[in-house]
């Protein structure tokens, strides 16, 4: 299951580094840990008008549904093997 990239959503055009909250959970996952609480805590702290960029070792399908219920859309920037970059954004922040 490889996803090199899909078209970037218009909502993310022009995002600056200052608007990105990064979280890399790959080290936690590689050690067998569960980063769900850390992810949710981080998401809760993302300011309005900012995006959440997650690095993971797999495509986090269950997380997509959880965050969708909280008003977050996602875009997969890159995904191959154990290196996935997923952007989460609140569409209403970028209308």
pLDDT tens column, 6-59: 789 988 999 999 999 999 999 999 999 999 999 999 999 999 999 999 999 999
CA–CA distances in Å: residue 17 to residues 14, 20, 42, 52: 10, 5, 17, 11
User: Is residue 91 very low, low, confident or very high in pLDDT (cuts 50, 70, 90)?
Assistant: confident
Decide if pLDDT at 4 tops 80: no
Query: Rounded to whole angstroms, how far apart are CA atoms 86 and 75?
Result: 6
Rg of the chain over CA atoms, in angstroms?
Answer: 13
Q: Which residue has the tokens 């549904």?
A: 65
User: Is residue 3 very low, low, confident or very high in pLDDT (cuts 50, 70, 90)?
Assistant: low
């Amino acid at each position: 299951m490889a996803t090199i990239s899909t078209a970037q959503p218009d909502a993310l055009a022009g995002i600056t580094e200052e608007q990105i909250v990064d979280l890399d959970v790959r080290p936690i996952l590689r050690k067998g840990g569960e980063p769900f609480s850390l992810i949710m805590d981080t998401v809760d702290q993302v300011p309005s008008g900012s995006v959440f960029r997650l690095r993971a070792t797999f495509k986090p399908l269950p997380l997509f549904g959880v965050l969708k219920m909280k008003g977050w859309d996602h875009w997969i920037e890159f995904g191959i093997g154990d290196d996935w970059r997923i952007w989460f954004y609140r569409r209403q922040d970028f209308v």
